[in-house]
Amino acid sequence: MRKWIYRPTVEGKASRQAHADLPEGTVERELGKEGFFGPSTQMIHPRPPTGWTSWEGPLRPRAFDLARLGAVAALPWAARTVLHNAHLRLRHWVCPSSMDRLARNADGDELLFLHAGSAELYCDYGHLTLATGDYVVLPRGTMWRIECERPTVWLLLEATNGSYQLPDKGLVGEQAIFDPAMLDYPRIDDAFRAQQQAGAPESREWRVEIKRRERISTVTYPYNPLDALGWHGTLMPVRINVRDLRPLMSHRYHLPPSAHTTFVAQRFVVCTFAPRPFETDPGAIKVPFFHNNDDFDEAIFYHAGDFFSRDNIHPGMLTLHPCGFTHGPHPKALNNMLTPKKLVTDEYAVMIDARDALEVGDDMPAVEWTDYHRSWRTD
């Protein structure tokens, strides 16, 4: 048995309620353990704690425009690696056309996020029609391929040697954020049965590319191995769209990103920011509070909309805030801390909080906004 050292204290000039009723002319900085899941302290400062004038060393916040990567790949295993560590591998995949063979990940569960386009997914379990904004969880070892009439753009999030699960929703109940009944699953429908008779373009043979320890093995079948007649059980791919999510809200209190957790893995979590009303209580802050990254590296992929807490960020970009420094809203957003310009947010974004340090892929410096760390400056 173990327990956090816990002794609630109010010292000096402070607000007794976190994220609300700050002393006039001050800003709040949160120091916490386990991301936003553990004990925390809210520090009060007379000026934003992001007011640095220079930055040296590798810890600086970074931003990448993945839309500029450009390269296409016929198969997911040739997609560009964006970030990685021993427990997570994030790839950016531009798929130009339908796959002529199957993919199978033996390294861990795969989470597909369809950033642009539409596609038909065929896998061991059946067929799913996919649209922009879809998440698809593919259990480790699932054979799959996509068909698309036009290029599609994806994020591939591998839970290396791990699995995806649903977060514990605690007091708000299992149906909060999204009801598990909203999770769609592949069907053995007419489209799936029809594809069983279709061979690869050049022959009746089907190849399966299996990735294990970042090496590829190819298995060839004289028939289409997606030939299931039926199945029953509790292990299956599932799909949900970001527009199906119903964010938790509080009109009197700004909720931390952990309230928007969509999937959890062994050493990281995936959260989704979706449109929601701003807080209406006059004393509640309406923008993300400044906070320390002391246990997690944070990466955010900006999918669609107007990203109110960031300047000069557009859809298709990704930011990385490594563990070890304070960050928060940019100066323009901070001006709206108590009085927002809109009634609701207008953004969709995918956030990954990784417990272990993330390495940047070899191709990323070519598409980096190198002055991103200067974007908090007011001069």
pLDDT of residue 293: 75
d(CA 142, CA 72): 23
pLDDT of residue 1: 85
275-325 pLDDT, tens digit per residue, is 999 999 999 999 889 998 789 999 999 999 988 778 789 999 999 999 999
Instruction: Tell whether residue 291 is among the known ligand binding residues.
Output: yes
Q: What angle do CA 222, 139, 122 make, to 5 degrees?
A: 45
Judged against a pLDDT cut of 80, whether residue 50 lies above it is answered with yes
140-193 pLDDT, tens digit per residue, is 999 999 999 999 999 999 999 999 999 999 999 999 999 999 999 999 999 999
Judged against a pLDDT cut of 80, whether residue 200 lies above it is answered with no
pLDDT of residue 198: 66
Q: What angle do CA 113, 68, 353 make, to 5 degrees?
A: 45
Judged against a pLDDT cut of 70, whether residue 80 lies above it is answered with yes
Instruction: Please report, for the chain, the start and end positions of each structural domain, with discontinuous segments joined by +.
Output: 27-64+247-374, 70-242
Judged against a pLDDT cut of 80, whether residue 202 lies above it is answered with no
241-287 pLDDT, tens digit per residue, is 999 999 999 999 999 989 999 999 999 999 999 999 999 999 999 98
d(CA 85, CA 223): 37
pLDDT of residue 199: 53
84-98 pLDDT, tens digit per residue, is 999 999 999 999 999
99-136 pLDDT, tens digit per residue, is 999 999 999 999 999 999 999 999 999 999 999 999 99
330 is catalytic: no
316-350 pLDDT, tens digit per residue, is 999 999 999 999 998 888 888 888 888 899 999 99
pTM here is 0.95
23-42 pLDDT, tens digit per residue, is 999 999 999 988 888 889 99
d(CA 200, CA 143): 15
Same fold, 27-64+247-374 and 70-242: yes
Instruction: Tell whether residue 109 is among the known ligand binding residues.
Output: no
d(CA 84, CA 354): 10
Q: Which residues face 263 on adjacent strands? A: 270
d(CA 288, CA 147): 39
Q: Which of 19, 87, 254, 373 is catalytic?
A: 254
Of residues 231 and 16, the one with the higher pLDDT is: 231
Q: What is the CATH number of domain 27-64+247-374?
A: 2.60.120.10
Q: Please give the average per-residue pLDDT across 367-375, as a whole number.
A: 95
Domain covering 70-242: architecture: Sandwich (2.60)
d(CA 225, CA 354): 35
CA dihedral 219, 223, 228, 229 (to 10 degrees): -170
Judged against a pLDDT cut of 80, whether residue 10 lies above it is answered with yes
- Strand order of the β-sheet with 88-95 is 238-241, 134-138, 108-116, 152-160, 88-95, 80-84, 359-360
